[in-house]
Structure 1
Amino acid sequence: MPLSSSFSRLSVLAAAGLLGAASSASATALPSSHLYERQSVSALPTPGMGFNTYNAYACSPSESTSHTSIDHLQSDGYLAAGYNFFQVDCGWVSRNAQRDSSGNLETNTDRFPSGMSALSQYATSKGFSFGLYSDAGYRACDTQSPSPVMGSLGYEAQDAALLQSYNVSYLKYDNCYADGTSGNDNAPKNPRTDFPTRFGKMSSALANVGIKKLLVCQWGVAQKQSDGRLIGPSQWTQGLSTSFRLADDIASGWINVQRILNQAIPIALNKTSGPGHFADGDLLEVGNSGMTIDEQATHFAYWAMVKSPLVISTDLTAISSAAKAILLNKGLIAVNQDSLGEPVKLIERRSYNYDLHAGKLANGDMAVLAFDWTNTQRTINVQFGDLGVVSADVTDLWSGATQTGVSTYSKQVNGHGSIALRLSNIKYTSTAAPTLTYINADKGVLAGAAVVQSCSGCSDGHDVGFVGNGAGNTLTINNIPATSSEKLLYFDYVNADVGFSFVGATNDRVAQISVNGGSAQNVSFPLSGYDWGRDVAKGYRVRLTGFNSGTTNSITISNPNAYAPDFDRIGYVA
């Protein structure tokens, strides 16, 4: 029999009336005595903004390209807009696979003949703080494999002192060669148990010399706890770093934005990113090849609204005026730097039509982002009722256009284009939250390889897995009431299928859902976390069509080509 449950089980964004999927994944903080936990909020109260050399120059930056970048950052308005640090990524350490006679990292004088102290002084003379890169392994990440560049493993205190002598205020700390120096040790993506210990040594060493900003660049790989549970860096880096990479490296192409935002969604919902501990979506690709200008704009808008650090990484001597305008967008920068530090949350994904994200700002305003999935020019109509809003004043953060006291906002966008809004003078709905009725998936009709399995985070301790990856592996839920053709359903599901760069991963699973035997409707389910047995996304909104008036409707979930997520239960308004 269906089980009744209060709508309050869904994540209701406090004081904003927003409805979105919650997750049962819980945060795991380090002890409060840890130095970084005491320092981090004051060290990074809002997401960092600056420049990193990697996307423009890979592991071959130079003194000359660095000076040129610093000059353009200062003269072309980036510093004034808030981009206030300059960071050299891989390439500054010598490539001779050894340290100097004192055990220090050697500078690559072929690329930086004047050394790091001189470059740091140049950056600070132009108004920037200075950052560098190292690695929590025996070797650092490098474009050559095996790498000839020394890492900091075992030398944390000595390297922290060297960085302090260069007046470094921010370290990007990578994760290559943790187990050895062969090419096979380059970039392990398997879950490990040593992340907090290995990265924690550098965290403490930096704190001891007064360097307060640390990015743990661990690519979103799971940490395996003593009880076997898998958790992500948003949890184990709490109290250890001021920011953490939420996913694997970004690269050119829209698919990488898709992959990273699908991994950011559960972090935003679980409130494990905020002042002093921001989720980093990786360097901005704005200005680089591989995406249309509309895709670059959506990429920037999402990074800004999810409160990722905004780190330019392109050749500023060749950037287009359109890309520059994106990076200097005052409205989106203001949202990113809002003192509340709260990331936007996914409100609803309209199949593969468009996404709707929203979140609170410190003064009571709301940031809203809607963007296209169809990759075609079309009109998106944002209904404020979906945000729990009756009416609001609107500022379009792309055009600057304003409207007062409206309940919708429509705009034509190009493929993968976006609507970025700031709502103010908001009037929220006073309608009481409805009651949901749930049908547990393990009470449905299973076919083929679909199976009931244990799930400690699920509502009754079980879910249904192995749906899809073959036409006959299906889950059918019967007796869903409806009063019209379209109905909004609420799915509790698990997707811990974390993917990485350069393999076509999107970090979502797609279910094909047929209503009453009709045509299948594709529904994208983003990641819910890292652990298949515990990390349940709750209240994920899915609008389907094809229902009949009455109580005998059914949905059948399948995917002949790939696995769908695992399903805990499906909720509906009776």
Structure 2
Amino acid sequence: MHQEFGRLQWIGIAIFVSLNIAYTNQTPTKLAARDGPPAPRPKPVMGWNSFYPSGCGANVNRKDLLWHADLMDQKGFIKAGYKTFIVECGWERDLKIKEDYKIERRPWKKAYWSLQLPDKADTLAANLNPKGLGLGLGTWGGKQICPRTKDEGSGVKALSNPDAYLNYLVNVRRVAYLSHRPCDWASPARLQNIDQATELNECYIEMENIISRHTFQNQLFYATGQWGASPKDSKTEVNSQRIADDTVDSWNSLIRTINALYPYSLQNQGPYNDLGWLQVGDNKLSMVEKITQFSFWAAAKSPLIFSSDISRLGQAEIDTLRNPGAIAINQDDLGQTITLKHRYSADMDVWSGPLKDGNTVAVIISWSNDATTKNIRLHDLGFSSAHIFDVMTGKDLGVINEVYTSKVQGHGSLFLKLTETKPAPEKKFITFPAEQAEIIGSAQIRTTSRGVKVVSNLQADGKSALRWNNVPGSKSGWTLVKFAYINAELSPGNMDDSKLNFKHTTIVINGDYENPSYADMPITGLTWDDMAEGFIVSLPLKPGNENTILIRGESGQPAPEFHLLSVEQTE
């Protein structure tokens, strides 16, 4: 999370609460521990977080918190659906005090027992609930196992009795949401090394077991940080999971998070993918970029949580956050995320996903710095025609055939709902395995632990490459090409813009090294065994069967590892 967390030494705490998700990979032990059938899947949480306006120190006090709760009511956020009020940190101090008195820090052991049986129901939740708000809390759940700074979490010990504390939070403090972050900085080493990943995942698994033992899964929402690549990767009790380091107020940070979603979006089942807090208020993003973030987060079914001084929000930001069309998409009963349908390098992304009523939601993101005209090809979404509505404005854009054209501001977006769709003709592809291609320089074939052959070590040295020969093209001048590849070059964190969870890859067509094409290929998972199939680009192939496609690294970075390419058959 944010580096300022390192300035506060937390008291050891744990919160273990959840709503159960009805997955099929539950163990018999877990099933036996529950009473009755699994609960319906909850909707993505919508709410406010105290961190940016209040921090973790003296400003985390009852008076200030309740002031923000009143503002949520006055500004219409509660009515719009933002019903979770999250105290991110600093809450380990006594909240059972007079409204105008700042929270007093106490040794954890004394605070625990003094608060176990309060003399009256004067909890923070008791003040929030009548407003329609549920109390949420953020926690490490004990030790901070991967601090962002050397002093972060020093002196914090493991919990001696997490079960007792769980009961206290649920039954006395009436917690409605829990964000568990035992790993503040989930570095690539932490996520990819099996021993370190196992240590992290076991923190979550322990919580899952406590949830089941106390049958709290039907009462509260359990949100985790990032999971590592470990065989002990169980998410049966998890309602949402972070997919990347915290999203901050920069365009590069949004790019980093959007690319991080790609492998998770291909899984279809599992927890909601938490893309991080919405960046509204006084920050470095333009209003256009804020709307792009909100649109993408809403369509991806990410929790919609903002952390800002509500009194300083502009009306445009308030209207965006309360947009009923976007919220309806986010809270759709199907709860399925969007997936990347087509990436046009340096131009735009096309993402879409299904809705419960059979309609489709699409988000188009402009990578251009200036306003440009975008031609949205409906076949990228699988349709030949559709009745299109603008989600943010509610405007009926009419029935569109083949291509929808719209001007989009720099770093802007289109948030569309497609109804009355007609499917496009099914496309057929011919496949070319990488192992049958020409392997040049230091490039080599390797076999993953899952038995998949890929071409690796495609260095950006001007000598190493992978070249497919005798590739068919189309008469139109542009041909759809799909890649199956592996890229586990993870971003080191939100303070480093050198790696944004994608590889900028050179594609040379027919030996034209002076005019190469490029593909910005997102990560495919946490390890170099995690492959993604179906990443689509458009390449300028010539008619006939004599095209060559050469792949090499770019900008000092090796290219992804390739398993195969598939070329659209147009004749």
TM-score w.r.t. structure 2 length?
0.83
CA distance in 2, matches of 1:391, 1:172: 42
8 Å CA contact 1:381–1:410 kept in 2: the answer is yes
Q: State the match for 2:562 in structure 1.
A: 567
* Structure 1 residues 188 and 56: alpha-carbon distance in aligned structure 2, compared to 1, 3 A threshold: farther
Which region of structure 1 is more displaced relative to structure 2, 252-261 or 79-88? Answer: 252-261
Question: 1:468 and 1:239, CA in 2 relative to 1: closer, same or farther beyond 3 A?
Answer: same
Structure 2 CA distance for aligned equivalents of residues 148 and 122 of structure 1: 33
CA contact (8 A) 2:484 2:562 kept: yes
> Which residue in the other structure is 2:123 paired with?
118
Report the CA distance between 1:59 and its aligned residue. 2.3
1:162 to 160, 168, 173: 168
Corresponding residue number in structure 1 for 2:495: 502
* Shift of residue 209, structure 1, vs aligned partner: 6.5
Indicate the residue corresponding to 2:437 in structure 1. 444
Structure 1 spans left out of the alignment, 5+ residues:
1-26, 108-113, 179-183, 227-235
Q: Does 1:199 align with 2:195?
A: no
Determine helix, strand or coil for the equivalent of 1:468: coil
Indicate how the Cα distance of structure 1 residues 106 and 196 shifts in structure 2: closer, same or farther if over 3 A, else same: farther
2:523 paired residue number: 527
Asked if 1:262 is matched to 2:254, the reply is no
What is residue 346 of structure 1 aligned with on the other side? 340
Write the distance in 2 (CA, Å) between the matches of 1:116 and 1:412: 56
Provide the C-alpha distance between the structure 1 equivalents of 2:62 and 2:381, rounded to a whole number of angstroms.
Answer: 49
Return the offset for 1:447: 2.3
- Render the CA deviation track for 1:406-427: whole Å, top value 9, x for unaligned: 1232221111100001111222
Deviations, residues 370-422 of structure 1 (Å, cap 9, x unaligned):
11112221111212122222222211112322133212322211111000011
Distance 2:345 2:488 in 1: 20
Residue 348 of structure 1: how far off its partner (Å): 0.6
Residue 180 of structure 2, aligned match among 173, 177, 182 = 173
Report % sequence identity: 25
- 2:399 maps to a residue whose letter is G
User: Does the 8 Å CA contact 1:156/1:201 hold for their aligned counterparts?
Assistant: no
Kindly indicate whether the alpha-carbon contact (under 8 Å) linking 1:246 and 1:280 is maintained by their aligned counterparts in 2: yes
C-alpha change, 1:171 and 1:124, in structure 2 (3 Å) is same
Alignment of 1:307-386 (within 5 A): 307-386=301-380
The one of 232, 240, 245 aligned to 1:243:
240
Matched, 1:473 2:464: yes
Partner of 1:76: 75
Aligned to 2:216: 210
Residues 572, 540 of structure 1: alpha-carbon distance in 2 compared, 3 angstrom cutoff: same
Contact 2:391 2:415 in 1 (8 A): yes
Contact 2:300 2:336 in 1 (8 A): yes
1:229 corresponds to which residue?
A: none
Asked if 2 retains the 8 angstrom alpha-carbon contact of 1:171 and 1:215, the reply is: yes
Q: Per the alignment, do residues 477 and 57 of structure 1 end up closer, same or farther by CA in structure 2, a change over 3 Å counting? A: farther
1:453 is the counterpart of 2:452:
no
CA shift in 2, pair 1:142/1:262, >3 Å: closer
1:292/1:80 Cα in 2 relative to 1: closer, same or farther (>3 Å)?
A: same
**Maintained 8 Å contact 2:201/2:227:** no
Residue 300 of structure 2 contacts residue 338 of structure 2 at CA under 8 Å; is this kept in 1?
yes
What is the SS of the residue equivalent to 1:79? helix
1:491 counterpart (483, 487, 496): 483
Q: CA deviation at 1:482?
A: 1.4
Displacement after TM superposition at 1:121 (Å) = 1.6
Return the letter of the residue paired with 1:522: Y
The alignment partner of 1:262 has SS state of helix
Question: Which residue in 1 is equivalent to 2:65?
Answer: 66
Please, which moves more after superposition, 191-200 or 433-442? 191-200
Cα distance, 1:551 vs structure 2: 1.4
On the 8 A contact 1:93/1:150 being kept in 2, the answer is no
CA deviation after TM superposition for structure 1 residue 465, in Å:
0.9
Give the whole-Å Cα distance in 1 for the aligned partners of 2:120 and 2:473.
70
8 Å Cα contact 1:137-1:176 kept in structure 2: no
For the residue of structure 2 that corresponds to 1:138, the secondary structure is coil
Name 2:10's counterpart in structure 1.
none
Alignment partner of 1:129 is 2:123? no
Give the C-alpha shift of residue 200 in structure 1. Answer: 2.6
Which has the larger displacement, 486-495 or 138-147?
Answer: 138-147
Instruction: Indicate the residue corresponding to 2:419 in structure 1.
Output: 424
Larger RCO (CA within 8 A; separation ≥ 6): 1
Inter-CA distance 41–83: structure 2 relative to 1 (3 Å threshold): farther
Paired residue for 1:147?
Answer: 153
What per-residue deviation string (whole Å, max 9, x for no partner) do you get for residues 327-362 of structure 1?
A: 011111100011011111111111221000111111
- Unmatched 5+ residue regions in structure 2? 1-22, 94-103
Q: Distance in 1 between matches of 2:227 and 2:91?
A: 26
* Structure 2 residue identity aligned to 1:571: S
Deviation at 1:142, TM superposition (A): 8.9
Question: Structure 1 stretch 147-156 or stretch 449-458: which is displaced more?
Answer: 147-156
Q: Aligned with 2:496: secondary structure?
A: coil
What letter is aligned with 2:536?
A: R
Name the aligned partner's letter for residue 521 of structure 2: F
| Partner-residue secondary structure (3-state), 1:42 | coil
Q: Which residue of 2 aligns with 1:99?
A: 108
After superposition, the Cα gap between the structure-2 partners of 1:425 and 1:136, relative to the gap in structure 1 and judged at 3 Å, is: same
> Structure 1: how far apart are the matches of 2:140 and 2:259?
26
AA partner of residue 486 (structure 2): V
**Greater Cα shift, 194-203 or 410-419:** 194-203
Q: Is the 8 A contact 1:358 1:367 kept in 2?
A: yes
Alpha-carbon shift at residue 508 of structure 1 (Å): 0.9
Change (3 A) 1:151 1:288: farther
Structure 1 residues 548 and 373, CA gap change in structure 2 (3 angstroms)? same
Q: Distance in 2 between matches of 1:426 and 1:37?
A: 42
Change (3 A) 1:28 1:450: farther
Letter in 2 for 1:444: A
Cα distance change on mapping 1:153 and 1:515 into 2, 3 Å: farther
Q: What's the offset of the Cα at 1:201?
A: 2.5
Please give the secondary structure, in 1, of the residue aligned with 2:44.
coil
| Cα distance change of structure 1 residues 385 and 511 upon mapping to structure 2, 3 Å threshold | same
The amino acid across from 1:475 in the alignment is L
CA deviation string 1:3-37 (max 9, x = no partner): xxxxxxxxxxxxxxxxxxxxxxxx99341542698
Verify the 8 A CA contact 1:391 1:405 in the aligned structure 2.
Answer: yes
Deviation of 1:98 after TM superposition, in Å, equals 4.6
Counterpart position of 1:45? 42
Matched residue, 2:84: 85
Using the TM superposition, give the Cα deviation of residue 436 of structure 1 relative to its aligned residue in structure 2, in angstroms. 1.9
Deviation per CA, 1:300-339: give whole Å up to 9, x if none.
Answer: 1111111111112111110111111210111111000110
Match status 1:34 vs 2:30: yes
SS at match of 2:123: helix
Q: 1:166 to 1:215 in 2, by over 3 A?
A: same
Q: Is the 8 A contact 1:105 1:150 kept in 2?
A: no
* 2-structure distance, mates of 1:301, 1:563: 33
1:409 to 380, 404, 411: 404
- Asked whether the equivalents of residues 50 and 310 of structure 1 are also in contact (C-alpha less than 8 Å), the reply is yes
Q: 1:214 to 1:84 in 2, by over 3 A?
A: closer
Q: 1:304 to 1:41 in 2, by over 3 A?
A: farther
Contact 2:474 2:542 in 1 (8 A): yes
Q: Partner of 1:247: helix, strand, or coil?
A: coil
Q: 2-side partners of 1:30 and 1:503: how far apart?
A: 38
Contact 1:491/1:540 (8 A) holds in 2: yes
Q: Which amino acid aligns with 1:493?
A: Y
Normalising by the residue count of structure 1, what TM-score does the alignment of the two structures yield? Answer: 0.83
Give the C-alpha shift of residue 102 in structure 1. 7.5
Matched positions, count: 517
Q: Offset of 1:104 from its aligned partner?
A: 5.6
Question: Residue 144 of structure 2 contacts residue 182 of structure 2 at CA under 8 Å; is this kept in 1?
Answer: no
Residues 104, 159 of structure 1: 8 Å contact kept:
no
